[in-house]
Chain A
Amino acid sequence: MTALPLVGFVALSSALFAVGLFGILTRRNFILVLIAIEIAMNAAILNFVYFGAFSNGTAGLTGQAVAVVLIGFAATEVAVGLAIVLALNRVKGTINVAQANELKL
């Protein structure tokens, strides 16, 4: 029987989300922005798992199922993000987000 404080998990995931948000807002390198998005995404997925684990009945299973779908979603998002990085690098010669100033790559 494992017993853990729910409060600690909420504090952890909100702190991780804040770190990710800070990274998204400040970093200029496209790959670093992607990594910051991944950190925030992981914090969000963690929410589903521990709220499921601390509830009764099938809610925990639904939480884990949503987490599985979200992990796949996040992996897809990284793949598309890196395709955009490569296209941006070919057209502009840099992956600085400040210079990605037109939608037509």
Chain B
Amino acid sequence: MSKTVKLRKGLNIPLLGEAEKVKNSVEQADVFSIKPPDFHGVMPKLDLKAGAKVKAGDVIFHNKYVENVKFCSPISGEITEVVRGAKRRILEIIIKADTNIDYKDLGVKDLNSMSDDEVKNYLLSSGLWPFIKQRPIDIIADPTQTPKAIFISAFDSSPIAPDYDFILHGEDENFQTGIDVLKKLTKGIIHLNVNGDGSPDKVFTNAKGVQINKIYGKHPAGNIGTQIHHIDPLNKGEYIWTINPQDVAIIGRVFNTGKFDLSKVIALTGSEVKTPKYIKTIIGTSIKNIVENNITSDNVRIISGNVLTGDKIKPDGFLGFYANQITVIPEGNQSKFFLTDGWLGSGCSKFSISKTYFSWLMPNKKRKLDTNLNGEIRSFVVTGEMEKVFPFDIYPMQLIKSVMYEDLDEMEALGIYEVAPEDFALCEFVCTSKIDIQEKIRQGLDKVQEEIL
């Protein structure tokens, strides 16, 4: 039973720098990294030390709390360094790559002859498990639970987002294998949610064993949290697993080839990229070869991911595990004089959902937005602005406030199980008081996980 969801609330931020639909490749990077902070809630316990030689697919570390969740090297080479931060927290494990990738032999698997448990154990031991995330809490799925459903969002509605219809075109076989793998993990439905306003590629429309739902509307229509809320909302005590479509294809590819091949296509986007385009690369790659000589100035912010939820990285930093996009936007570290482009200016270059700046007369003009906070942090004063971009039957400001005063019962009553930080990205964007809402929601979710689940 396919469902159609039409959303009235939301916001598409018109940004410059959408990737041109060509798939390029760049020279393979010499260094790769796997970054434990990408996996929220994982306490890394190293299996290998600096100096060890690895093949692609060798286990580098596992989660101390859930020992069978393994994290493997995306590349063959030598572990050169373990970068640690405050309290000896592991930030990056850097691997110097061989020129030719040497894959650990996992063996081609025949899904039909595997039991559900065998599939699960294979995913865990081969290092594919971290691709599967869970709601509530938005962390790597707990392998001891059975989800009531699995959700895949076949499109990304965030600003200048990569187009999965383009990326996955022709990957039908791997994608289908990936779906078949996921079918072994749940008794429930696998929801594949496609963009109602677009024309989904046949890789999605031909997929078997899934329920295809159509979602219409502005961002966050493509967010998995929005889709879950409108299709099969999460109640207390239930679990839903989620996975990115490109990662479904990666899982399928590993099953089909027996090689731990984490190559994917990412979009290089943003107003400061000279030629925005799609690039074939491998998870964890150094972005040096990708961004070098392709950025307009030095004073930029490079983001692994999209502008609303991504992580800031250095020009020689590494692509995040879940990222499908690198975005480069101008850094906003210049003060703005109040009459020219500050708070009393005409604001023609600013973007705002309120119509207090004259830029509202050109709502569809593609804009170049920088990272300036555009104001100072204040108490909550304005109400109703978050509700305009938050298509949930949840009161966003009240939930955020309950997190701020750490009232667990209230968080639970107001629906914290249904949300993830990324669902609040637009609320954070529009907030007049410039409060870091995603961070607050993450703290709330951590608290809930610690005290209740």
B is bound to A: no
Residues of chain B at the chain A interface (Cβ within 8 Å): none
